[in-house]
Structure 1
Amino acid sequence: MYKTVLVPVDGSPMATRALDVASEMCRLFGARLITLCVYRHHSPLEASLSMVRVKQAAERPDDSLKTYASEIAAAAKARALDSGVEDVTAYAKRGQPSRAIVAFARQHECDLVVLGARGNGDIEGFLLGSVSHKVASLAPQHCLIVR
């Protein structure tokens, strides 16, 4: 039924639950699984106020965030492989999460997007709506929101 399933991950327990559901679906359908961790770009002002502290003076906050996002996506890939999914790919992308997820799903021709109901979002998510809600509203693909 599904050939390519996208699971956006952020390291939260809900994202891990979504990953487990997607992994089971991929095993059943013989589908390809893609994990994606989206990190937000920091403007110079935001970078100066960032809670991310760099390891070296030459490293920018965006570089630290990309490394962290890559680690989250890789850990999700390893979990999916351990659960028996045979074809798994991991990506880290910069951007506004809901828009980046929808664009990525379209670009990679994903049939299904599986998301956790709530992730590690900031206060904006509480005020303006969650990433999962925005993706479900914007994506042309089927979306499964896991609680």
Structure 2
Amino acid sequence: MFKHILVPTDGSELSLGNVARAAAYAKETGARITLFYAQPEAPSAYAGLGAMSSPHLNEEIQTRLDEAAQEILDAADAVVREAGASCQRVVLVGSRPFELIIAAADSHGCDLIFMASHGRSGVSALLLGSETQKVLAHSRIPVLVYR
């Protein structure tokens, strides 16, 4: 069976439901959990014509992004602990979450990625895609999609 599960979370209710299911699965099978959050890159301050910028703006934005990541992981961590399991936490920063998810699973030795499906269908799924679909298409590690 699987021994080390990567569980990406974005803080949504659906995602936290996925964390709960992954935690129950981990407790049943004795697997370890690594919670993962793909933090967006901080936007660069625009200092063009007519724009106002503070020298501390980038720091403030980065601080808020870091705080949001920790809040999201705190909520997921609480769900895992409530289920009686334990976990470690990982944050990677970038603009392509699916690549970060796969990289985190690879670098932490995970043998399963446990993801939620956001349930897009039809034209929306074709045009927008989803991070889950992209992980499914590119991962060499098995992906379990919980819906």
Question: Where on the TM-score scale, by shorter chain, does this alignment land: which range?
Answer: 0.7 to 0.9
* CA distance in structure 2 between the partners assigned to 1:8 and 1:125 by the alignment: 20
Give the deviation of 1:102 after TM superposition: 0.4
> What is the count of residue pairs matched by the alignment?
134
Taking structure 1 as the reference length, the TM-score comes to 0.81
Q: Could you tell me whether the CA contact under 8 Å between 2:36 and 2:91 is conserved in 1?
A: yes
Q: What is the alpha-carbon distance in structure 1 between the residues aligned to residue 74 and residue 126 of structure 2?
A: 28
Aligned match of 2:51: none
Q: Say if 1:17 and 1:41 are closer, same or farther in 2 by CA, change over 3 A.
A: same
Contact 1:5 1:110 in 2 (8 A): yes
How far apart in 2 are the matches of 1:90 and 1:114? 15
Is 2:137 the partner of 1:118? no
Q: Distance in 2 between matches of 1:41 and 1:57?
A: 14
* Structure with bigger gyration radius: 2
Pairing 1:102-141 to 2, within 5 Å after superposition:
102-118=102-118, 127-141=127-141
Aligned-residue sequence identity (percent) comes to 29
Cα distance in structure 2, aligned partners of 1:57 and 1:138: 36
| Equivalent in the alignment of 1:90 | 89
The Cα RMSD (Å) is: 2.5
Give the drift of 1:91: 2.1
Change (3 A) 1:41 1:57: closer
What is residue 20 of structure 1 aligned with on the other side? 20
Structure 1, unmatched stretches of 5+, are: 47-55
Supply the AA of the counterpart residue of 2:89: A
CA distance 1:69–1:79, change in 2 (3 Å): same
Unmatched 5+ stretches in structure 2:
47-55
1:5/1:34 contact within 8 Å kept: yes
Per the alignment, residue 74 of structure 2 pairs with 74
Query: SS state of the match for residue 33, structure 1?
Result: strand
